[in-house]
Amino acid sequence: MTPIPRPGPDEYDPYYAGYVADVPPGDVVTLLGTQTAELVTWLRAVPPERESHRYAPDKWSIREVVGHLCDTERVLAYRALRFSRGDHTPLPGFEQDDYVREAGCETRTLADLTDEFLAIRRATVALFRGMSGAMTARHGTANDVGVSVRALAYIIAGHERHHARVLRERYG
């Protein structure tokens, strides 16, 4: 597989610019395969009594953050799949707060959510590893904004980096 080049700023919504910028130089698919190790180590060390911790009353719990990572990665990878296959059907957006509220993460263990995240990430890596350069250069529309498949790979990687940092810095 040819490394996926970094997307240009015209390949994604400016909302995601911070995520894309947060991805270090190098092969993004390799990063997707290795970046979860530190986060998973951190998550596995969280004592059960801290799994529902929120650093502020209106913020998600640790479990909810992991559930959000799962849901968001699924949505973004699905977009990448559709667009990489030449599907030009515009896709809707999704409201992350609604997803978190309805996911029922507080009824699950952090270990279970972490295992789910790892399974989703393995599937995401396999998806991108199977794409040709032509596939990753394709574009589609999601939430009324154009996005390239390669930008979705970088957004997924940057999104995980962002939330891993927030968990370390704000949830202790």
Encode pLDDT of 82-114 as tens digits: 999 999 999 999 999 999 999 999 999 999 999
Share of the chain above pLDDT 90, in %: 98
pLDDT for 163 equals: 98
pLDDT for 157 equals: 98
Residue 41 within a domain: yes
Other CB atoms within 10 A of residue 7 CB: 23
Residue 47, pLDDT > 90, answer: yes
Q: Which amino acid is at 123?
A: A
pLDDT for 18 equals: 98
Residue 4 within a domain: no
Share of the chain above pLDDT 70, in %: 99
Residue 158, pLDDT > 90, answer: yes
Structural domain boundaries enclosing 62: 10-170
Q: CA-to-CA distance for 38 and 100, rounded, in angstroms?
A: 23
pLDDT for 172 equals: 84
pLDDT for 162 equals: 98
33: part of which helix (H) or strand (E)?
A: helix 28-34
Residue 138 within a domain: yes
Report the number of distinct structural domains present in the chain: 1
Residue 97 within a domain: yes
Q: CA-to-CA distance for 35 and 29, rounded, in angstroms?
A: 10
Length of the chain: 172
Residue 1, pLDDT > 80, answer: no
User: What pTM did the predictor assign?
Assistant: 0.97
Residue 125 within a domain: yes
Residue 1 within a domain: no
Residue 78, pLDDT > 90, answer: yes
Instruction: Read off the CATH number of the domain in which 142 is found.
Output: 1.20.120.450
pLDDT for 2 equals: 79
Residue 2 within a domain: no
Residue 5 within a domain: no
